[in-house]
């Protein structure tokens, strides 16, 4: 089964399966394809994954998040008058992570060559009929794109005409990107000729990307446009294979990436919600929505203050944050009416320590930004929403051998700065750092550090076997939708397809990880299906509501039916996400 954000991307995965590849091979082919299609990401972005290995029965975490380059300091950005690193441009870019992540996954857990898994993407780089969604995104962002010469060359084939972007259905050609991918394949082939193993040959391509002529052009092209990358930044960066974090919810082990992502907020939310009888409340009742909203506010406020790159000090208090005892204390704060003042708690006593940041915690509110908190979201085009939902796609794959892969790659979305003549769009993830330690002492910008990102693949095991693999695009709403998908299946008995299309809520009280990092306390997004009596009840509890026809988010998931020995796939009706199974 192969599921991702675009039908052509899912087809790339299915092609690899038909050639005998495993779920990791198929995931790598899908990743390459969606990067080439600019499905709200590109090749210079970041990749993070959870992989279930059927031979070890373990879940592995892949950390292919780029880092802040040399010279990217708090002082550098503050001198430019910025409260945060920018949303776009070369100064928004962390080092490229996706190529390294793809090649590491393939080398360590795949079975095929890089040439085989890149073949669909290389065909598309030579030219494919671009779909309307991406073509229109390019046209709508063309003024920004024109700021960067290499982006203009790739994205705007009709310069000077009324429409400068490609037309829907036009053959979109990316010759520079094709040449970059061809260099990777060439490096692999040369290594194989020298008698290197499949794995060693893939890592030879990795070396060429991060230390060879591709790296040189990335650095040259980025610096020419005002960026900070150095050759040493790319050469020193490494993909990390990590232990995921996990909690048990009613007999189900749920896995997320470490605290350099927002993933543990889902685990914290589950720990808090375990203290309530959600099933008895009823799906999307006022009591359920109120409890769910406040549980998310509690967990995400901890995210906003305590999460950051564990390779840098100070060390996040994850033991306390993920303890059941801490969750019980946090659950006591959930009230009949929404509490707009909910903030981070103190997890340190729950790991036998004293909180060294109580002074900063007391000053945090002075540093927070609010976006017209008195108003609900002003329709689907509200700029506040655009920040919350920025970027990302999702990839799900599994096979008969038992490999399961959940990926949320992102970064380098349109309008992206393209790095010289490589065809590679750079990440915009620097904006997720903070420059003020009052907001989060664990996520203050430093060179070589990974920002605390929203990217968050998910996996769950039951009785030691895969139960659910799930991921989504959507910025800060990712773990909100993933939490509800999980509860829809576990608590409310939905099938995986029903759960991907269900009427979710979104909490905008949490702080955005993008733009000006604003929040809207008490703001809630509801589905238009929510009945009047529930709306009235929520209004009386202090919520400011907006409504959309579709609120599931673009969820993709695979549920494992061990009774019948089958997979059930789900892909929401929210966007262009698509799955192919055989």
Q: Containing H/E element for 166? A: none
* Contact by Cβ (8 Å): 7, 572: no
Indicate the residue among 172, 189, 224 that finishes a domain: 172
- Residues 501 and 376 grouped into a single domain: yes
What is the pTM (predicted TM-score) of this model? 0.96
- Whether residue 546 lies inside any domain: the answer is yes
Rounded CA-CA distance 510/527 in Å is 19
What does the block give as tokens for 93? 């870019």
For residue 559, the cross-strand partners are 468, 568
- Is the model's pLDDT at 200 over the cut of 70? yes
- Whether residue 288 lies inside any domain: the answer is yes
Q: Over the range 443-467, which residues count as b (16 or more CB within 10 Å of their CB) and which as e?
A: bbbbebbbbbbbbbbbbbbbeeebb
- Whether residue 569 lies inside any domain: the answer is yes
Q: What is the pLDDT of residue 389?
A: 60
Show the domain range for 161. 129-172
- Residues 380 and 523 grouped into a single domain: yes
Q: Check the CA dihedral 141-146-150-154 and report its sign.
A: positive
Average predicted confidence (pLDDT) for the chain: 95
Q: Over the range 418-442, which residues count as b (16 or more CB within 10 Å of their CB) and which as e?
A: bbbbbbbbbbbbbbbbbbbbbbbbb
Indicate the residue among 138, 156, 172 that finishes a domain: 172
* Contact by Cβ (8 Å): 256, 456: yes
pLDDT tens string 165-194: 999 999 999 999 999 999 999 999 999 999
Q: What is the pLDDT of residue 573?
A: 87
- Whether residue 196 lies inside any domain: the answer is no
Rounded CA-CA distance 560/565 in Å is 8
The domain total for the chain is 2
Q: What is the pLDDT of residue 387?
A: 60
- Is the model's pLDDT at 366 over the cut of 90? no
- Whether residue 351 lies inside any domain: the answer is no
Phi, psi of 213 (to 5 degrees): -70, -30
pLDDT band at 388 (very low <50, low <70, confident <90, very high): low
- Is the model's pLDDT at 375 over the cut of 80? no
Q: What is the pLDDT of residue 303?
A: 98
pLDDT tens string 530-574: 999 999 999 999 999 999 998 998 999 999 999 999 999 999 988
- Is the model's pLDDT at 336 over the cut of 70? yes
Q: What is the pLDDT of residue 473?
A: 86
- Residues 168 and 262 grouped into a single domain: no
Rounded CA-CA distance 300/323 in Å is 15
Rounded CA-CA distance 301/330 in Å is 11
Q: What is the pLDDT of residue 574?
A: 82
pLDDT band at 87 (very low <50, low <70, confident <90, very high): very high
**Rounded average pLDDT over 199-207:** 98
pLDDT band at 499 (very low <50, low <70, confident <90, very high): very high
Give percent of the chain with pLDDT exceeding 90.
92
pLDDT band at 285 (very low <50, low <70, confident <90, very high): very high
- Residues 166 and 257 grouped into a single domain: no
pLDDT tens string 290-329: 999 999 999 999 999 999 999 999 999 999 999 999 999 9
- Any residues with CB less than 8 A from the CB of 430 and at least 6 apart, and which? 68, 72, 85, 86, 91, 92, 93, 94, 445, 451
CATH of the domain at 488: 3.60.20.40
**DSSP assigned state of 431:** G
What count of other Cβ atoms lies within 10 Å of the Cβ of residue 365? 10
Residue 557 vs residues 284, 314, 481: alpha-carbon distances, Å = 21, 35, 12
Rounded CA-CA distance 324/310 in Å is 22
Nearest to 309 by CA among 446, 409, 412: 446
- Residues 286 and 373 grouped into a single domain: yes
- Whether residue 524 lies inside any domain: the answer is yes
pLDDT tens string 231-281: 999 999 999 999 999 999 999 999 999 999 999 999 999 999 999 999 999
Indicate the residue among 172, 201, 226 that finishes a domain: 172
- Any residues with CB less than 8 A from the CB of 576 and at least 6 apart, and which? 5, 6, 7, 39, 131, 133, 554
pLDDT tens string 4-39: 999 999 999 999 999 999 999 999 999 999 999 997
- Is the model's pLDDT at 391 over the cut of 70? no
- Whether residue 144 lies inside any domain: the answer is yes
pLDDT band at 474 (very low <50, low <70, confident <90, very high): confident
- Whether residue 31 lies inside any domain: the answer is no
- Residues 287 and 383 grouped into a single domain: yes
Q: What is the pLDDT of residue 80?
A: 96
Q: How are beta strands 506-507 and 523-527 bridged, if at all?
A: antiparallel
What does the block give as tokens for 290? 């109120």
């Amino acid at each position: 089964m192969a599921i991702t954000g675009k039908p052509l991307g899912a087809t790339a995965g299915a092609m690899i399966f038909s050639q005998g590849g495993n779920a990791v091979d198929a995931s790598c082919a899908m990743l390459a394809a969606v990067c080439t299609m600019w499905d709200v990401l590109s090749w210079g972005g970041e990749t993070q994954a959870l992989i279930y290995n059927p031979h070890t029965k373990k879940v592995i975490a892949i950390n292919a998040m780029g880092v802040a380059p040399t010279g990217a300091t708090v002082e550098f950005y503050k001198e430019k008058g910025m409260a945060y690193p920018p949303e776009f441009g070369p100064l928004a870019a962390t080092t490229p992570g996706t190529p390294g992540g793809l090649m590491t996954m393939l080398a360590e857990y795949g079975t095929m060559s890089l040439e085989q898994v890149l073949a669909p993407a290389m065909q598309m780089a030579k030219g494919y009929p671009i779909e309307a969604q991406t073509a229109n995104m390019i046209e709508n962002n063309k003024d920004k794109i024109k700021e960067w010469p290499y982006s203009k060359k790739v994205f705007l084939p009709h310069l000077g005409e009324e429409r400068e972007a490609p037309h829907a259905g036009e053959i979109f050609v990316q010759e520079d990107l094709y040449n970059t991918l061809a260099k990777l394949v060439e490096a692999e082939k040369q290594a194989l000729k020298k008698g290197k193993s499949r794995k060693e040959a893939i890592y030879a391509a990795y070396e060429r990307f991060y230390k060879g002529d591709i790296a040189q052009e990335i650095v040259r092209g980025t610096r020419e446009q005002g960026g900070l990358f150095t050759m040493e930044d790319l050469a020193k960066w490494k993909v990390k294979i990590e232990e995921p974090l996990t909690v048990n919810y009613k007999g189900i082990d749920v896995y997320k990436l470490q605290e350099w992502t927002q993933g543990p907020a889902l685990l914290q939310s589950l720990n808090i919600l375990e203290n309530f009888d959600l099933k008895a409340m009823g799906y999307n009742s006022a009591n359920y929505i109120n409890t769910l909203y406040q549980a998310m506010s509690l967990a995400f406020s901890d995210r906003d203050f305590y999460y950051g790159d564990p390779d840098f000090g100070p060390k996040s208090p994850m033991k306390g944050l993920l303890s059941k005892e801490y969750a019980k204390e946090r659950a006591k704060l959930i009230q009949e009416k929404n509490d707009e003042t909910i903030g981070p708690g103190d997890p340190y006593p729950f790991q036998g320590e004293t909180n060294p940041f109580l002074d900063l915690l007391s000053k945090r509110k002075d540093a927070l930004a609010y976006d017209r908190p008195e108003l609900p979201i002003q329709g689907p085009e509200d700029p506040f929403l655009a920040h919350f939902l920025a970027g990302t796609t999702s990839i799900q794959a599994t096979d008969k051998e038992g490999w399961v892969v959940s990926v949320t790659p992102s970064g380098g979305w349109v309008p992206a700065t393209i790095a010289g003549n490589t065809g590679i769009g750079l990440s915009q993830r620097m904006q997720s750092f903070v420059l003020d330690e009052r907001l989060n002492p664990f996520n203050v910008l430093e060179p070589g550090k990974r920002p605390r990102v929203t990217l968050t693949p998910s996996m769950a095991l039951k009785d030691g076997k895969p139960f659910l693999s799930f991921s989504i695009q959507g910025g800060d709403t990712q773990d909100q939708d993933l939490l509800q998908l999980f509860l829809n299946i576990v608590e409310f008995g939905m099938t995986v397809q029903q759960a991907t299309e269900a009427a979710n809520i979104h909490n905008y009280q949490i702080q955005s990880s993008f733009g000006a990092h604003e929040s809207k306390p008490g703001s809630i997004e509801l589905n238009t299906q929510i009945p009047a009596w529930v709306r009235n009840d929520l209004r009386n509890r202090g919520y400011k509501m907006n409504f959309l026809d579709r609120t599931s988010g673009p969820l993709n998931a695979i549920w494992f039916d061990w009774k019948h020995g089958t997979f059930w796939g789900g892909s929401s009706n929210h966007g262009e996400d698509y799955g192919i199974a055989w």
